[in-house]
Amino acid sequence: MIISRKAKDTLQRLCTQFPVVGITGPRQSGKTTLATSVFPDKKYITFDDRSMRDLAASNAVDFLMAFPNGAILDEAQKVPEIFDALKLLADRDQWKPGKFILTGSSQFRLKQNMSDSMAGRAAFLNLLPFSLPELTSAEIRGEDAYRLIHLGMYPPLHDPDRHFIPYDWFESYIDTYLERDVRELINPSNLATFRKFIQVCAVHSGQLLSMESIAGSVGVSAPTIKSWLSILEKSFIIHFLEPDSNNLGKTVVKTPKLYFVDSGLLCHLLRLETKEDLLLSRHKGAVVETFAVSELMKQRMNEGRKPNLTFFRDDHGFEVDTIADWKRTFAIEIKSANATEKKLSANTRKYLDLRKDHEVRGAVFYLGDVTMTVNDTAYISWKDWGTFADST
């Protein structure tokens, strides 16, 4: 079962402009499936095949010239020689757009090689796991918000033909990530400590980043934690929201907030094995917030845009969960409540009073089933989080 991806139009748009387009994102987010579904007539080459890898490495230019109509090159980072050859052919072909599509599971090497060799000749599409609108269109979203938040959005877990048990799948996912991505970036003797580090980060999802606290829990230095956080961010396991720079005459925090990209992986790391465990957990609010922020990110990234998401918090603890600085600005509160109440919008209303900008709108993301506007505040049902800007 192939689910249509919202990023399809963005990939096609980029391929009308750039000779090489790289699709990056976390493992198992559907990068290769997207490329092959959008370009079914392009030859598909995977460098997981050793014979193909050896052939391409021996003479990369001749190898690429064997595909005059271009190709999809999977695991391209396994043949470093291919990137200089792509640069040469891109210049020689007088900028024929959309010729080669590159994907790979190791984001670090793929993006670095493309950035170093293909500057000005390549574009990137960041593909995250499924979004709510994609599951809705495929009619597999379901009606239980907490079930979906607990399961997460990685494509294999929504494939009815695979029958994965989430616990087993996430354990395999983490093992593969550590062995294939992390091992080449840190001392292999630290892999067990790095795994503990990921679990400690899970406890901090939705919170202000405290490297000292994480370092103390893991037992390594703060500089090491900073380096390891960069690894998690570049591999799309976590992301950060920076504080809003509009200080409104107040002293604001300068520390970013840490979020996981996928709520299912977060629940697994928090040892929340069932939906009921999530409902009873002290982390419930943070997991719901993680899910909502991720959906906002996907909405933008699927369009090939920067997320442009921040948060506001002053030195007295007053906070607005998310500020979406898009075509217009939205101040957003994220709640695990399933009914509209005036108190849910208290922080957004206070923020709007401070901003005194009539173009800024307030919104509350909640777990109810109906999207509505009450007293100039938009209450966005969880079902519509992925189309937030379209529903307000």
- Render pLDDT for 120-176 as a digit per residue (tens, 0 to 9): 788 999 999 999 999 999 999 999 999 999 999 999 999 988 899 999 999 999 999
Same domain, 138 and 22: no
Same domain, 69 and 217: no
DSSP string, 217-239: HHTS-HHHHHHHHHHHHHTTSEE
Say if 270 falls within a structural domain.
Answer: yes
What mean pLDDT do residues 286-309 have?
A: 96
Task: Look at the chain and report how many structural domains it folds into.
Answer: 2
87, two tokens = 């640069």
Identify the domain boundary among 107, 126, 145. Answer: 126
Nearest to residue 103, comparing CAs of 130, 141, 71?
A: 71
Which amino acid makes up residue 219? Answer: G
Say if 318 falls within a structural domain.
Answer: yes
pLDDT of residue 380: 94
The DSSP code for 143 is S
Beta-bridge partners for 124? 22
Nearest to residue 31, comparing CAs of 135, 160, 124, 138?
A: 124
Say if 2 falls within a structural domain.
Answer: no
Q: What is the CATH number of the domain that holds 77?
A: 3.40.50.300
pLDDT of residue 354: 87
CA distance 154 to 30: 8
pLDDT of residue 132: 96
Same domain, 95 and 47: yes
Cβ-based neighbour number of residue 117 at 10 Å: 19
Range of the structural domain that residue 108 is part of: 8-126
Say if 1 falls within a structural domain.
Answer: no
Mean pLDDT, the chain, rounded, equals 91
Same domain, 104 and 46: yes
pLDDT of residue 260: 98
CA distance 104 to 75: 4
Same domain, 194 and 95: no
Identify the domain boundary among 126, 158, 191. Answer: 126
Same domain, 108 and 159: no
Asked if the model's pLDDT at residue 8 lies above 60, the reply is yes
Say if 122 falls within a structural domain.
Answer: yes
The DSSP code for 317 is S
Q: Quick one: how far is CA 111 from the chain centroid?
A: 15
pLDDT of residue 253: 85
pLDDT of residue 249: 63
Nearest to residue 106, comparing CAs of 165, 192, 47, 39?
A: 47
pLDDT of residue 112: 76
Residues 325-369 have pLDDT tens digits of: 998 899 999 999 888 788 888 999 999 988 887 788 999 999 999
Residues 79-126 have pLDDT tens digits of: 999 998 998 888 887 668 999 999 987 666 777 777 777 777 889 999
Secondary element (H or E) of residue 259 = strand 257-260
| Cα dist from 191 to 93, 175, 179, 258, 300, whole Å | 44, 10, 8, 22, 33
Residues 240-280 have pLDDT tens digits of: 999 997 767 666 788 999 999 999 999 999 999 999 999 99
Residue that is written with structure tokens 């933008």 in the block: 300
Same domain, 185 and 312: yes
Say if 3 falls within a structural domain.
Answer: no
Same domain, 352 and 209: yes
Residue 376's pLDDT band (boundaries 50, 70, 90)?
confident
| Cα dist from 44 to 22, 47, 73, whole Å | 14, 10, 6
Identify the domain boundary among 104, 126, 148. Answer: 126
Residue that is written with structure tokens 């999207």 in the block: 371
Say if 14 falls within a structural domain.
Answer: yes
Asked if the model's pLDDT at residue 389 lies above 80, the reply is no
CA distance 8 to 6: 5
Same domain, 232 and 320: yes
pTM of the predicted protein model: 0.93
224, two tokens = 């090491």
Say if 356 falls within a structural domain.
Answer: yes
Same domain, 84 and 159: no
Task: Give the neighbor-by-neighbor strand order of the sheet with 43-46.
Answer: 43-46, 71-74, 100-103, 20-24, 122-126
Same domain, 330 and 255: yes
Q: Quick one: how far is CA 204 from the chain centroid?
A: 17
pLDDT of residue 390: 65
Question: CA angle, 139 as apex, 365 and 273 as ends, to 5°?
Answer: 65
pLDDT of residue 375: 82
Same domain, 45 and 116: yes
Residues 6+ apart with CB under 8 A from 66: none
CA distance 389 to 300: 10
